[in-house]
Structure 1
Amino acid sequence: MARTLRWGVGLLLVVSLSIGAFLLLPFRSWLPGGTVGDVPLSQVVNGTAFNRLFPEPDDGDQLVFTQEKRGFSEARLKHDGQVKALLAISDVSTAPEARRKFETSQSRLQGWPLVEQGPQATALLVADRFQIKVIGQGDGLEAEQRQDLIGRFNLRGLAALKSASAPRATLPSGQDTAGRQSLEPRAAMEPVS
């Protein structure tokens, strides 16, 4: 009897899995697979590559990495145990709509387009591919403080990042291939309008 019961349970399990797979077939595009936002994994930069590009914290501050996945890395900037800001780098090749907010930007930081997103957030688009975002927490940070924090990221290193099959990013005008500013006089940061 025990043998018959095992065979019955096994057969029921196989039939259930087969029916479940058949029912989920129309939803296979929703299931996890080999892409991130319809971009092949080989073309998306891994989040671990972003971690070394975050700014060094000031004395008394602490940088705590909280999330890392393909195309994204996030850290909390803490001061005396309180979260001061969220810092993030994302590969917008997985979300091309994220680039739209930079299309009309009149502000620049080290040659890259900069946008203010409400009273607590500032974002920068590097190499038309990587978004750096600083979101003030608690009492928050002033826009100038957020911009200064973004400027302390390794922007040249970020612009030079590429996935295994992606072409190398181009630097903004006014910089040579080593990422140095040209000798033309220009401000590193233009005011936010």
Structure 2
Amino acid sequence: MKKILLVLILVAGLYWAFKSKDAPVPSSAPAVATPAKPVAGKTFNKLFPSSAEGFEVQFTQEKEGYAQADLLKNGKKLAQLSVSDTQANPSARDKFNNTTQKIAGQPAAAVGSMGTAILVAGRYQVQVRSLDPSFRANDREAWIAKFKLGDLQ
């Protein structure tokens, strides 16, 4: 009788041990909020620099969380300007984690050899990508600074 009781206790203990491994473990970590919906692309258009001094800003793409324009001079495409909401793609912020470079007071990073970007308010990426070799890093930085960055804060 003792052996049967011992086997039953052992079986019940094993059952309970394996069942509890499948149960969710309570956590003291705060719940992660559901990300807000990305900003509509057309709302970014007003943030782009204006056409001036022989340069033309020509909008080329607009979708949820993204707006893009070409920068032209005398009809020649020099660069591509963009603003994107990284809310739907948080890994896009990773390149700014360890940067010490700043442009217009915002963390900055190179994007390949032809691009420069900043992260505004920990969420919005403003990027200028050279389409012509004559448009250099200092030109990209100057054009990033021309965006209306205060409206993204």
TM-score (normalizing by structure 1): 0.59
Unpaired runs of 5+ residues, structure 1, are 1-38, 160-193
SS in structure 2 of the partner of residue 43 of structure 1: coil
Q: Which residue of 2 aligns with 1:129?
A: 123
The residue aligned with 2:107 is 113
**What code does the residue aligned with 1:136 have?**
S
SS of equivalent residue, structure 2 residue 59:
strand
- C-alpha deviations, 1:33-84, integer Å up to 9, x for none? xxxxxx77x6211111100000112322111111001100000011111101
SS of alignment partner, residue 135 of structure 2? coil
Contact 1:46 1:72 in 2 (8 A): yes
Correspondence for 1:46: 40
Aligned pair partner of 1:147 in 108, 124, 141: 141
- Larger mean CA deviation between 62-71 and 112-121 belongs to 112-121
Mark the runs of 5 or more structure 2 residues left unpaired by the alignment: 1-33
> Percent same amino acid at aligned positions?
37
Larger of the two Rg values belongs to structure = 2
The reply on whether 1:83 has 2:77 as its aligned counterpart is yes
Task: Provide TM-score, normalisation by structure 2.
Answer: 0.74
Q: CA RMSD in A?
A: 1.5
- 1:49 alignment partner AA: T
Could you tell me how far apart the structure 2 residues matched to 1:140 and 1:74 are?
Answer: 21
Displacement, 1:148?
Answer: 0.7
Paired amino acid for 1:101: K
Distance 1:72 1:118 in 2: 20
Runs of 4+ in 1 over 2 A off after TM superposition: none
Aligned positions, number: 120
Question: Structure 1 residue 97 and structure 2 residue 91: aligned?
Answer: yes
1:141-184 Cα shifts (integer Å, max 9, x gaps): 2111111100010010122xxxxxxxxxxxxxxxxxxxxxxxxx
Match of 2:62 in 1: 68
**Mean alpha-carbon deviation: is it higher for 105-114 or for 77-86?**
105-114
User: What is the deviation of 1:140?
Assistant: 4.0
Give 1:138 shift. 2.0
Mapped partners of 2:142, 2:81: distance in 1: 12
